[in-house]
A and B are shown apart, each in its own frame.
Chain A
């Protein structure tokens, strides 16, 4: 569990470091200011890629589950709880 959180933090850092380098190098004089639009929409698109990837996985799983385990599926068999009738 801790390993997984640690892994997450490391991954996060690996993202910040390259970005921080870019920013520290960015100029602060006239004509070289940061463009808010680019930064913020860039973040938005990156997060959308993550969200839609996970979304595809989750929705795909739901669709597969619904089709595979519906009672009308030819491969459907009774669960082991149906014998006793209580679940």
Chain B
């Protein structure tokens, strides 16, 4: 590295810097390609996904199943089935989040956002709001209840 110190104050950089930048760019290409691929496969909604409407409002979550059943603060789903959430808000922007199932999408008034998932474990999982929405944002919670088939 001695030659780097001699008189290379301004002007072009030497090969170590080029190699370094090349490695950085290659890594970034890898990150970009991986991310693009995973997003693509994750966004592919199965055709037979059952629709659940999710309505956020200050400061609670309401759910409407395809058959007209409404639930407030709780959402019952069946293990192994695919569900498509159609998410909107009645007032301000909220964000629908089931952290344990990596479901997260904003509930925007005047818009319907869609995300799908398929629960593979039975049990109870927290639902929380992930966009500041005022006084009770910190406690705008609900519960996802995943039941075994036929329950």
> Measured between alpha carbons, how far is A28 from B45 in the docked complex, in Å?
9
> Measured between alpha carbons, how far is A26 from B38 in the docked complex, in Å?
13
- Give the residue among A8, A20, A40 with the most B Cβ atoms within 10 A: A8
Residues in B whose Cβ lies below 8 Å from that of A43: 34-35, 38
Residues in A whose Cβ lies below 8 Å from that of B82: 30, 33
Query: Which one, A4, A50, A80, contacts B25 given CB within 8 A?
Result: A4
Q: Is the CB of B33 within 8 A of A39?
A: no
Q: Is the CB of B42 within 8 A of A5?
A: no
- Give the residue among B28, B32, B82 with the most A Cβ atoms within 10 A: B82
B123 proximal to A (CB < 8 A): no
Q: Is the CB of B81 within 8 A of A12?
A: no
Write 27 A-B pairs (CB below 8 A) sorted by A numbering: A4-B18, A5-B26, A5-B29, A7-B26, A8-B22, A8-B25, A9-B29, A11-B26, A13-B33, A15-B30, A15-B37, A26-B41, A28-B46, A30-B81, A30-B82, A31-B80, A33-B46, A34-B118, A35-B120, A36-B42, A36-B101, A36-B103, A39-B41, A40-B38, A42-B38, A50-B30, A80-B5
